[in-house]
Amino acid sequence: MRTLISTAFISLDGVMEAPGGEPGYRNSGWTFKEVEFVPDAFEIKEREQRESAAILMGRVSYEAFSPVWPDMAEFAHYNTLPKYVVSSTLTEDELVSDWGETTILRSLDEVAALKETDGGPIIAHGSAALNHGLSDAGLIDRYHLLVYPLLLGAGKRLFSTTDKDTQKLRLVEHEVYGNGVQKQVFDVVRR
């Protein structure tokens, strides 16, 4: 079974919306505007690219990333990986042509089936609504979090607010950087 990793920049109060400057959110770009850049904090992002075998995202994140990531040197390896977009509305003719193999998945059942295939880790970028569904369905195996020392208040959050049983996590890696950002890597504990 493939490992599904949710990776996110989040504020201390759990907001993950528009960390890189995506339009439409009042605090857009909070990861670079509000906190000093420390290159060491991004080591995990470089490692994710090296270790990932596929990318998973929701439609909104796909529409934000697909016009810019193919041309960014920082994400060159992602151009070669298969991409999976979970959407009930996206059509094949809406996919970009310069970002490699992209497959539309129509349900979380299809994500579960993808996890059963051969291959390395699948990394889920952004995608608040998708993360909620993946978590609620028990499909996430690991979290890679860069937690910023900010309280953003309103905004899309990484974690679902569904009333459900407690989900235990095991901290497997952590570090604190000089700018206050914390790397936290958690494995989901299966009962």
Is 90 exceeded by the pLDDT of residue 126?
A: no
Domains held by the chain: number: 1
Residue 106: which pLDDT band, with cuts at 50, 70 and 90?
very high
**For residues 149 and 80, what is the distance between their CA atoms, to the nearest angstrom?**
34
Is 90 exceeded by the pLDDT of residue 168?
A: yes
How many CA within 13 A on the CB side of residue 93? Answer: 0
Q: Which domain holds residue 114?
A: 4-188
Phi-psi region of 100 (alpha: psi -120 to 50; beta: other; left: phi over 0): left
Non-local (6+) Cβ contacts of 22 within 8 A are: 28, 64
**Residue 172: CATH number of its domain:** 3.40.430.10
Model pTM score: 0.95
Residue 23: which pLDDT band, with cuts at 50, 70 and 90?
confident
